[in-house]
């Protein structure tokens, strides 16, 4: 075989190998991003449920206020219990919102696949440029 053809085929082989590696890296990055999106979706479902529970507690507290206005004295323990439940749900809602925010602000290093902050210029793991 002619040496020039042989050299050309070697360069084509090297380029194809490089392209395959780049495609694999892209697929891994896309997979990680898809995983982050699934995690955010799951957290959003939990957040939706918690907001519903929180609104139900607020509705019950409102009913207690209306009943009190009408002269029906509620049990003191009921009001305290509802307020404690509202505080608990509110704390969980804030925690979920923070977790969602953290997941949405993350970016993945193209060199090593490590998660990095949205504003980072370089990877915290490998030092690669983002």
Q: Where are the domains of the chain?
A: 33-116
- In percent, the amount of the chain with pLDDT more than 70 equals 99
pLDDT tens-place string over residues 16-31: 888 888 888 888 888 8
> Do 126 and 108 touch, CB atoms closer than 8 A?
no
pLDDT at position 1: 65
The confidence score (pLDDT) of residue 57 equals 97
Distance of CA 68 to the CA centre of its chain: 43
User: Residue 75 in 3-state DSSP?
Assistant: coil
- 33-116 CATH: 1.20.5
Q: Is 1 helix (H, G, I), strand (E, B) or coil?
A: coil
| CB-CB neighbours of 57 under 10 Å | 20
Token reading at 93: 């809602």
Q: Count CA atoms closer than 13 A to 45's CA, side-chain side.
A: 5
């Amino acid at each position: 075989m002619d040496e020039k053809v042989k050299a050309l085929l070697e360069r084509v082989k090297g380029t194809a190998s490089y392209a395959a590696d780049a495609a694999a890296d892209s697929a891994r990055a896309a997979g990680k991003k898809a995983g982050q999106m699934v995690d955010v979706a799951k957290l959003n479902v939990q957040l939706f449920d918690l907001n519903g529970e929180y609104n139900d507690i607020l509705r019950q507290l409102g009913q207690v206020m209306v009943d009190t206005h009408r002269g029906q004295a509620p049990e003191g323990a009921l009001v305290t219990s509802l307020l404690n439940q509202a505080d608990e749900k509110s704390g969980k809602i804030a925690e979920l919102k923070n977790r969602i925010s953290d997941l949405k602000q993350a970016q993945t290093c193209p060199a090593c696949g490590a998660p990095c902050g949205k504003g980072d210029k370089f990877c915290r793991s490998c030092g690669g440029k983002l």
